[in-house]
Protein backbone atom coordinates (compact mmCIF):
# COMPACT_ATOMS: atom_id res chain seq x y z
CA UNK A 1 0.00 0.00 0.00
CA UNK A 2 2.95 2.37 0.59
CA UNK A 3 3.65 2.34 -3.14
CA UNK A 4 0.13 3.51 -3.94
CA UNK A 5 0.21 6.21 -1.26
CA UNK A 6 3.50 7.50 -2.71
CA UNK A 7 1.98 7.61 -6.19
CA UNK A 8 -1.06 9.51 -4.94
CA UNK A 9 1.06 11.97 -3.01
CA UNK A 10 3.19 12.78 -6.02
CA UNK A 11 0.15 13.15 -8.27
CA UNK A 12 -1.47 15.57 -5.83
CA UNK A 13 1.78 17.52 -5.69
CA UNK A 14 1.75 17.96 -9.46
CA UNK A 15 -1.91 18.97 -9.32
CA UNK A 16 -1.22 21.52 -6.60
CA UNK A 17 1.57 23.04 -8.66
CA UNK A 18 -0.67 23.27 -11.70
CA UNK A 19 -3.45 24.98 -9.74
CA UNK A 20 -0.96 27.45 -8.28
CA UNK A 21 0.48 28.27 -11.71
CA UNK A 22 -2.99 28.57 -13.22
CA UNK A 23 -4.21 30.96 -10.53
CA UNK A 24 -1.05 33.02 -10.81
CA UNK A 25 -1.53 33.45 -14.56
CA UNK A 26 -4.80 35.27 -13.98
CA UNK A 27 -3.64 37.01 -10.80
CA UNK A 28 -2.11 40.38 -10.04
CA UNK A 29 0.42 39.34 -7.40
CA UNK A 30 1.67 36.24 -5.62
CA UNK A 31 0.03 37.05 -2.28
CA UNK A 32 -3.38 37.26 -3.92
CA UNK A 33 -2.72 34.05 -5.84
CA UNK A 34 -1.82 32.33 -2.56
CA UNK A 35 -5.12 33.47 -1.04
CA UNK A 36 -7.03 32.15 -4.04
CA UNK A 37 -5.14 28.85 -3.83
CA UNK A 38 -6.21 28.44 -0.20
CA UNK A 39 -9.83 29.23 -1.04
CA UNK A 40 -9.98 27.08 -4.18
CA UNK A 41 -8.00 24.02 -3.10
CA UNK A 42 -7.40 24.35 0.65
CA UNK A 43 -3.66 24.50 -0.04
CA UNK A 44 -2.08 27.02 2.31
CA UNK A 45 1.20 28.73 1.52
CA UNK A 46 2.72 32.18 1.63
CA UNK A 47 2.95 34.38 -1.43
CA UNK A 48 6.74 34.15 -1.28
CA UNK A 49 6.72 30.35 -1.25
CA UNK A 50 4.23 30.32 -4.10
CA UNK A 51 6.42 32.73 -6.06
CA UNK A 52 9.44 30.44 -5.77
CA UNK A 53 7.36 27.41 -6.78
CA UNK A 54 5.93 29.16 -9.84
CA UNK A 55 9.27 30.54 -10.98
CA UNK A 56 10.90 27.12 -10.56
CA UNK A 57 8.10 25.57 -12.59
CA UNK A 58 8.61 28.15 -15.30
CA UNK A 59 12.29 27.30 -15.44
CA UNK A 60 11.37 23.65 -15.86
CA UNK A 61 9.12 24.63 -18.76
CA UNK A 62 12.02 26.47 -20.39
CA UNK A 63 14.21 23.38 -20.03
CA UNK A 64 11.48 21.22 -21.57
CA UNK A 65 11.18 23.62 -24.50
CA UNK A 66 14.90 23.52 -25.20
CA UNK A 67 15.35 19.77 -24.74
CA UNK A 68 12.32 18.83 -26.82
CA UNK A 69 10.65 17.04 -23.92
CA UNK A 70 7.60 19.23 -24.52
CA UNK A 71 6.33 17.93 -27.85
CA UNK A 72 4.30 20.20 -30.12
CA UNK A 73 1.38 18.00 -31.26
CA UNK A 74 1.14 19.41 -34.78
CA UNK A 75 3.37 20.19 -37.74
CA UNK A 76 3.16 22.37 -40.82
CA UNK A 77 1.46 19.55 -42.71
CA UNK A 78 -1.58 19.99 -40.43
CA UNK A 79 -2.04 23.65 -41.36
CA UNK A 80 -4.33 23.44 -44.39
CA UNK A 81 -5.93 26.69 -45.51
CA UNK A 82 -9.14 25.40 -47.09
CA UNK A 83 -11.77 22.81 -46.31
CA UNK A 84 -14.09 20.92 -48.59
CA UNK A 85 -17.85 21.41 -48.45
CA UNK A 86 -18.11 18.97 -45.56
CA UNK A 87 -15.85 21.28 -43.47
CA UNK A 88 -13.82 18.24 -42.50
CA UNK A 89 -11.61 17.40 -45.45
CA UNK A 90 -8.60 19.70 -45.93
CA UNK A 91 -8.04 20.63 -49.57
CA UNK A 92 -5.94 23.82 -49.67
CA UNK A 93 -2.20 24.38 -49.39
CA UNK A 94 -0.53 24.39 -46.00
CA UNK A 95 0.38 27.85 -44.73
CA UNK A 96 2.41 29.05 -41.75
CA UNK A 97 3.01 32.62 -40.58
CA UNK A 98 6.02 33.64 -38.56
CA UNK A 99 6.18 36.75 -36.38
CA UNK A 100 8.64 38.25 -33.91
CA UNK A 101 8.86 41.42 -31.87
CA UNK A 102 10.42 43.03 -28.83
CA UNK A 103 8.53 44.09 -25.71
CA UNK A 104 9.70 46.02 -22.66
CA UNK A 105 9.50 44.40 -19.21
CA UNK A 106 10.03 46.27 -15.90
CA UNK A 107 13.23 45.23 -14.11
CA UNK A 108 14.28 45.54 -10.49
CA UNK A 109 17.40 47.67 -10.42
CA UNK A 110 20.46 47.05 -8.28
CA UNK A 111 19.60 50.04 -6.10
CA UNK A 112 16.06 48.74 -5.52
CA UNK A 113 17.44 45.33 -4.58
CA UNK A 114 19.70 46.85 -1.96
CA UNK A 115 16.76 48.79 -0.50
CA UNK A 116 14.61 45.65 -0.36
CA UNK A 117 17.38 43.68 1.32
CA UNK A 118 17.85 46.38 3.93
CA UNK A 119 14.13 46.37 4.73
CA UNK A 120 14.21 42.59 5.22
CA UNK A 121 17.15 42.90 7.60
CA UNK A 122 15.35 45.59 9.61
CA UNK A 123 12.21 43.45 9.77
CA UNK A 124 14.26 40.51 11.07
CA UNK A 125 15.86 42.64 13.76
CA UNK A 126 12.48 43.91 14.96
CA UNK A 127 11.20 40.35 15.14
CA UNK A 128 13.98 39.50 17.56
CA UNK A 129 14.26 35.85 16.52
CA UNK A 130 17.28 34.10 15.12
CA UNK A 131 16.90 33.37 11.42
CA UNK A 132 18.90 31.70 8.70
CA UNK A 133 21.36 33.99 6.95
CA UNK A 134 20.04 35.63 3.82
CA UNK A 135 21.31 34.09 0.58
CA UNK A 136 24.03 35.89 -1.30
CA UNK A 137 22.62 38.97 -2.97
CA UNK A 138 22.22 38.81 -6.74
CA UNK A 139 22.92 41.98 -8.69
CA UNK A 140 19.94 43.86 -10.08
CA UNK A 141 19.45 45.31 -13.53
CA UNK A 142 21.34 48.37 -14.71
CA UNK A 143 18.16 49.91 -16.13
CA UNK A 144 14.48 50.01 -15.27
CA UNK A 145 13.28 48.19 -18.40
CA UNK A 146 14.69 45.41 -20.55
CA UNK A 147 13.49 44.30 -23.97
CA UNK A 148 12.36 40.68 -24.15
CA UNK A 149 12.00 39.00 -27.54
CA UNK A 150 8.85 37.18 -28.66
CA UNK A 151 8.60 34.58 -31.45
CA UNK A 152 5.35 33.14 -32.85
CA UNK A 153 4.32 30.64 -35.51
CA UNK A 154 0.67 30.21 -36.45
CA UNK A 155 -1.60 29.09 -39.25
CA UNK A 156 -4.33 31.02 -41.04
CA UNK A 157 -6.98 30.55 -38.33
CA UNK A 158 -4.55 30.28 -35.37
CA UNK A 159 -5.95 26.85 -34.63
CA UNK A 160 -2.31 25.74 -34.68
CA UNK A 161 -0.10 28.13 -32.80
CA UNK A 162 3.15 28.08 -30.83
CA UNK A 163 4.82 31.04 -29.11
CA UNK A 164 7.89 31.57 -26.98
CA UNK A 165 9.69 34.42 -25.25
CA UNK A 166 13.26 35.00 -24.20
CA UNK A 167 15.14 37.48 -22.07
CA UNK A 168 18.09 37.03 -24.40
CA UNK A 169 19.25 39.30 -27.17
CA UNK A 170 18.43 39.12 -30.87
CA UNK A 171 20.83 36.21 -31.36
CA UNK A 172 19.01 34.16 -28.73
CA UNK A 173 15.71 35.11 -30.37
CA UNK A 174 17.10 33.73 -33.62
CA UNK A 175 17.90 30.47 -31.87
CA UNK A 176 14.28 30.28 -30.70
CA UNK A 177 13.07 30.99 -34.26
CA UNK A 178 15.12 28.11 -35.63
CA UNK A 179 14.21 25.73 -32.80
CA UNK A 180 10.47 26.23 -33.20
CA UNK A 181 10.74 26.07 -37.00
CA UNK A 182 12.42 22.69 -36.68
CA UNK A 183 9.85 21.38 -34.19
CA UNK A 184 6.89 22.26 -36.41
CA UNK A 185 8.72 21.19 -39.59
CA UNK A 186 8.31 24.62 -41.14
CA UNK A 187 10.11 23.60 -44.33
CA UNK A 188 7.26 21.22 -45.18
CA UNK A 189 4.68 24.03 -45.40
CA UNK A 190 3.55 24.93 -48.92
CA UNK A 191 3.51 28.63 -48.01
CA UNK A 192 5.75 30.22 -45.35
CA UNK A 193 5.22 33.93 -44.69
CA UNK A 194 6.83 36.33 -42.27
CA UNK A 195 4.80 39.28 -40.99
CA UNK A 196 6.98 41.63 -38.94
CA UNK A 197 7.25 45.26 -37.93
CA UNK A 198 10.35 45.82 -40.06
CA UNK A 199 12.97 45.83 -37.29
CA UNK A 200 16.37 45.10 -38.86
CA UNK A 201 17.32 42.56 -36.16
CA UNK A 202 14.33 40.36 -37.05
CA UNK A 203 15.17 40.35 -40.76
CA UNK A 204 18.82 39.62 -39.97
CA UNK A 205 17.92 36.64 -37.79
CA UNK A 206 15.51 35.26 -40.39
CA UNK A 207 18.36 35.24 -42.89
CA UNK A 208 20.97 34.01 -40.44
CA UNK A 209 18.82 31.10 -39.24
CA UNK A 210 17.89 30.19 -42.81
CA UNK A 211 14.18 30.03 -42.16
CA UNK A 212 13.53 29.79 -45.91
CA UNK A 213 10.39 31.91 -45.80
CA UNK A 214 8.70 32.44 -49.15
CA UNK A 215 8.17 36.11 -48.34
CA UNK A 216 8.63 38.57 -45.48
CA UNK A 217 6.07 41.36 -45.32
CA UNK A 218 6.04 44.69 -43.49
CA UNK A 219 3.14 44.95 -41.07
CA UNK A 220 0.64 47.34 -42.64
CA UNK A 221 -0.17 49.04 -39.34
CA UNK A 222 3.48 49.88 -38.60
CA UNK A 223 3.81 51.38 -42.06
CA UNK A 224 0.67 53.40 -41.41
CA UNK A 225 2.11 54.69 -38.12
CA UNK A 226 5.15 56.06 -39.92
CA UNK A 227 3.03 57.66 -42.65
CA UNK A 228 0.84 59.42 -40.10
CA UNK A 229 3.86 60.52 -38.08
CA UNK A 230 5.14 62.36 -41.17
CA UNK A 231 1.64 63.64 -41.92
CA UNK A 232 1.28 65.28 -38.50
CA UNK A 233 4.54 67.19 -38.94
CA UNK A 234 3.95 68.14 -42.56
CA UNK A 235 0.28 69.14 -42.26
CA UNK A 236 -0.70 69.36 -38.62
CA UNK A 237 -2.69 67.07 -36.37
CA UNK A 238 -6.21 67.74 -37.67
CA UNK A 239 -5.61 69.07 -41.16
CA UNK A 240 -8.13 67.49 -43.57
CA UNK A 241 -5.83 67.75 -46.57
CA UNK A 242 -3.12 65.92 -44.63
CA UNK A 243 -5.49 63.12 -43.64
CA UNK A 244 -6.66 62.78 -47.23
CA UNK A 245 -3.02 62.60 -48.38
CA UNK A 246 -2.24 59.85 -45.86
CA UNK A 247 -5.35 57.85 -46.80
CA UNK A 248 -4.52 58.04 -50.50
CA UNK A 249 -0.90 57.07 -49.86
CA UNK A 250 -1.87 54.01 -47.81
CA UNK A 251 -4.35 53.00 -50.50
CA UNK A 252 -1.54 53.17 -53.07
CA UNK A 253 0.76 51.14 -50.83
CA UNK A 254 -1.91 48.48 -50.42
CA UNK A 255 -3.01 48.18 -54.04
CA UNK A 256 -0.09 49.56 -56.03
CA UNK A 257 2.91 48.44 -54.01
CA UNK A 258 6.27 50.07 -53.47
CA UNK A 259 7.07 51.45 -56.94
CA UNK A 260 3.74 53.19 -57.42
CA UNK A 261 3.90 54.78 -53.98
CA UNK A 262 7.53 55.85 -54.33
CA UNK A 263 6.60 57.79 -57.48
CA UNK A 264 4.19 59.81 -55.32
CA UNK A 265 6.47 60.27 -52.32
CA UNK A 266 9.48 61.74 -54.09
CA UNK A 267 7.66 64.70 -55.75
CA UNK A 268 5.59 65.20 -52.57
CA UNK A 269 8.77 65.90 -50.66
CA UNK A 270 9.63 68.81 -53.00
CA UNK A 271 6.34 70.55 -52.17
CA UNK A 272 7.21 70.90 -48.48
CA UNK A 273 8.71 74.07 -47.04
CA UNK A 274 10.72 74.29 -43.86
CA UNK A 275 13.46 72.09 -42.37
CA UNK A 276 11.15 70.23 -39.97
CA UNK A 277 8.76 69.18 -42.74
CA UNK A 278 11.60 68.22 -45.08
CA UNK A 279 13.22 66.16 -42.33
CA UNK A 280 9.91 64.35 -41.64
CA UNK A 281 9.64 63.53 -45.34
CA UNK A 282 13.24 62.31 -45.46
CA UNK A 283 12.63 60.01 -42.49
CA UNK A 284 9.56 58.53 -44.16
CA UNK A 285 11.38 58.09 -47.47
CA UNK A 286 14.27 56.41 -45.67
CA UNK A 287 11.95 54.10 -43.74
CA UNK A 288 10.10 53.04 -46.88
CA UNK A 289 13.24 52.66 -49.00
CA UNK A 290 14.97 50.44 -46.43
CA UNK A 291 11.96 48.13 -46.40
CA UNK A 292 11.06 48.19 -50.09
CA UNK A 293 11.51 44.41 -50.43
CA UNK A 294 8.92 43.92 -47.69
CA UNK A 295 6.26 46.21 -49.20
CA UNK A 296 4.48 43.58 -51.28
CA UNK A 297 0.84 44.11 -50.34
CA UNK A 298 -0.71 43.56 -53.79
CA UNK A 299 1.08 40.21 -54.07
CA UNK A 300 0.08 39.20 -50.53
CA UNK A 301 -3.56 40.15 -51.11
CA UNK A 302 -3.70 38.30 -54.41
CA UNK A 303 -2.42 35.14 -52.73
CA UNK A 304 -4.76 35.51 -49.76
CA UNK A 305 -1.93 36.17 -47.31
CA UNK A 306 -2.32 38.37 -44.25
CA UNK A 307 -0.63 41.78 -44.36
CA UNK A 308 -0.70 42.51 -40.62
CA UNK A 309 1.22 41.19 -37.63
CA UNK A 310 -1.75 41.48 -35.27
CA UNK A 311 -1.38 37.94 -33.84
CA UNK A 312 2.23 38.66 -32.87
CA UNK A 313 1.32 42.02 -31.32
CA UNK A 314 -1.42 40.32 -29.29
CA UNK A 315 1.06 37.67 -28.17
CA UNK A 316 3.42 40.36 -26.86
CA UNK A 317 0.62 41.68 -24.65
CA UNK A 318 -0.59 38.33 -23.34
CA UNK A 319 2.87 36.92 -22.58
CA UNK A 320 3.86 39.95 -20.54
CA UNK A 321 0.51 40.92 -18.96
CA UNK A 322 1.40 39.22 -15.66
CA UNK A 323 4.74 41.05 -15.62
CA UNK A 324 3.39 44.56 -16.05
CA UNK A 325 1.11 45.08 -13.06
CA UNK A 326 1.29 48.22 -10.97
CA UNK A 327 4.58 48.46 -9.10
CA UNK A 328 5.98 45.18 -10.45
CA UNK A 329 9.73 44.76 -10.87
CA UNK A 330 11.46 41.57 -11.92
CA UNK A 331 14.74 39.76 -12.18
CA UNK A 332 15.12 38.92 -15.85
CA UNK A 333 15.36 35.16 -15.24
CA UNK A 334 12.24 35.14 -13.04
CA UNK A 335 10.28 37.18 -15.58
CA UNK A 336 11.31 34.77 -18.32
CA UNK A 337 10.13 31.82 -16.21
CA UNK A 338 6.70 33.36 -15.55
CA UNK A 339 6.40 34.24 -19.23
CA UNK A 340 7.18 30.63 -20.16
CA UNK A 341 4.11 29.44 -18.26
CA UNK A 342 1.91 31.87 -20.15
CA UNK A 343 3.49 30.69 -23.40
CA UNK A 344 2.29 27.18 -22.54
CA UNK A 345 -1.27 28.41 -22.39
CA UNK A 346 -1.01 30.57 -25.51
CA UNK A 347 0.47 27.64 -27.44
CA UNK A 348 -2.24 25.20 -26.36
CA UNK A 349 0.38 23.10 -24.58
CA UNK A 350 -0.72 23.58 -20.98
CA UNK A 351 -2.34 20.18 -20.61
CA UNK A 352 0.47 18.48 -22.54
CA UNK A 353 3.12 19.83 -20.19
CA UNK A 354 1.43 18.78 -16.97
CA UNK A 355 0.71 15.33 -18.37
CA UNK A 356 4.42 14.84 -19.02
CA UNK A 357 4.98 15.23 -15.27
CA UNK A 358 2.49 12.55 -14.27
CA UNK A 359 4.59 9.48 -15.20
CA UNK A 360 7.46 10.68 -13.04
CA UNK A 361 5.03 11.58 -10.27
CA UNK A 362 3.52 8.11 -10.46
Chain-centre distance for alpha carbon 54: 20
**Which neighbouring-strand residues pair with 97?**
154, 193
- Pairing relation of β-strands 191-196 and 215-218? parallel
Among 130, 164, 126, smallest CA distance to 148 is for 164
Reading the chain (362 residues) residue by residue, the pLDDT tens digits are 344 334 443 444 788 889 999 999 888 889 999 999 899 888 888 888 899 999 999 999 999 999 999 999 999 999 998 765 655 666 789 999 999 999 999 999 988 888 888 888 888 888 877 778 888 878 888 889 999 999 999 999 999 999 999 999 999 999 999 999 999 999 999 999 999 999 999 999 999 999 999 999 999 999 999 999 999 999 999 999 999 999 999 999 999 999 999 999 999 999 999 999 999 999 999 999 999 999 999 999 999 999 999 999 999 999 999 999 888 899 999 999 999 999 999 999 999 999 888 765 44
Sheet holding 215-218, edge to edge: 161-166, 145-154, 95-106, 191-196, 215-218
183, HSE (Cβ side, Cα atoms, 13 Å): 25
Q: Calculate the alpha carbon distances from 120 to 113, 115, 117, 238 in Å.
A: 11, 9, 5, 54
Q: Using alpha carbons only, give the angle 60, 63, 64 rounded to the nearest 5 degrees.
A: 90
Contact 332, 108 (CB under 8 A): no
DSSP 189: -
**What are the strands, taking DSSP E only, across the chain?**
95-106, 145-154, 161-166, 191-196, 215-218
DSSP per-residue string spanning 109-153: BHHHHHHHHHHHHHHHHHHT---PPPPPPPP-BSSSEEEEEEEEE
Dist. CA 268–CA 347, nearest whole Å: 45
Q: Number of helices and strands (H, E) in the chain? A: 13, 5
Global confidence as pTM: 0.88
Amino acid sequence: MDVYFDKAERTISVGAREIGCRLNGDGKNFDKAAENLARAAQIYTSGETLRKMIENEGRDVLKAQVSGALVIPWTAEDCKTKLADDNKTATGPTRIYMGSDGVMVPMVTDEEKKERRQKIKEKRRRRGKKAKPLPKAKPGADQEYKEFKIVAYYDETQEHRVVAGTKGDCVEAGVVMRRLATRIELDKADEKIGNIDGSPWIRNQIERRELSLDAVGLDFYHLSENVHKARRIAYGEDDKAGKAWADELMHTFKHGGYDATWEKLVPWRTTLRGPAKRRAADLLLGYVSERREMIRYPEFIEKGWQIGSGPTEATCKTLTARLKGSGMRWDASNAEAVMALEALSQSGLWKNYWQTLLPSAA
